[in-house]
């Protein structure tokens, strides 16, 4: 599964997980929406949740690496089916323990696990000292989401976590 990032460059380069993935040749960064290839767009504002049924849509994942203030407008410009990640908790040092506040590598890793590419998720998270923490914090929900057949089932599982 190819990993692509629509990269704005408006964050701290030392803490940018997308840039680190690029340095290890694990993801490609693109400076414009036009240059970003078509793929499953990980969009926190999407109407449909990512599910294992999305495996058939593309062999590319596209993440948006930008400020939260511009995320909705920038995501709208990207081509491809837009999918939201379900409830997951950040394991990175900046947003540790915060739901839905994943950095780029965590978003990719969560999506990869849901789509059945757990080993690839472990590979990309392995470049970060705290990478294993993301998988440990989200072990059960990631397993359950990956067992779902479609977006509706993923949302139902998510509701259980949000209700607790």
* Tokens 């926190």 -> residue: 44
pLDDT for position 15:
77
pLDDT for position 24:
96
Name the pTM for this structure: 0.93
* Tokens 């840039």 -> residue: 19
* Tokens 């929900």 -> residue: 141
Give the helix/strand (H/E) hosting 30: strand 28-30
Q: How many residues does the chain have?
A: 164
pLDDT in tens, 89-129: 999 999 999 999 999 999 999 999 999 999 999 999 999 99
Blockwise average pLDDT, block size 10, the chain, 164 residues: 88 82 96 92 94 96 78 75 97 94 96 98 97 98 98 97 84
Half-sphere exposure of 141 (CA within 13 A, CB side): 26
Rounded CA-CA distance 132/122 in Å is 8
């Amino acid at each position: 599964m190819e990993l692509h990032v629509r990269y704005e460059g408006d964050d701290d380069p030392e803490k940018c997980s997308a840039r680190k993935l690029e340095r290890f040749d694990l993801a490609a960064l693109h400076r414009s929406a036009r240059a970003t290839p078509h793929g499953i767009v990980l969009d926190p504002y999407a109407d449909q949740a990512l599910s294992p049924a999305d495996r058939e849509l593309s062999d590319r994942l596209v993440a948006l690496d930008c400020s939260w203030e511009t995320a909705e407008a920038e995501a709208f410009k990207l081509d491809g089916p837009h999918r939201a990640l379900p409830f997951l908790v950040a394991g990175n040092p900046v947003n540790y323990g915060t739901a839905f506040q994943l950095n780029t590598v965590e978003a990719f890793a969560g999506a990869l696990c849901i789509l059945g590419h757990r080993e690839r998720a472990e590979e990309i998270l392995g470049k970060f000292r705290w990478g294993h923490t993301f998988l440990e914090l989200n072990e059960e929900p990631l397993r359950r989401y990956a067992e779902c057949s479609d977006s509706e089932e993923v949302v139902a599982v998510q509701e259980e976590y949000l209700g607790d």
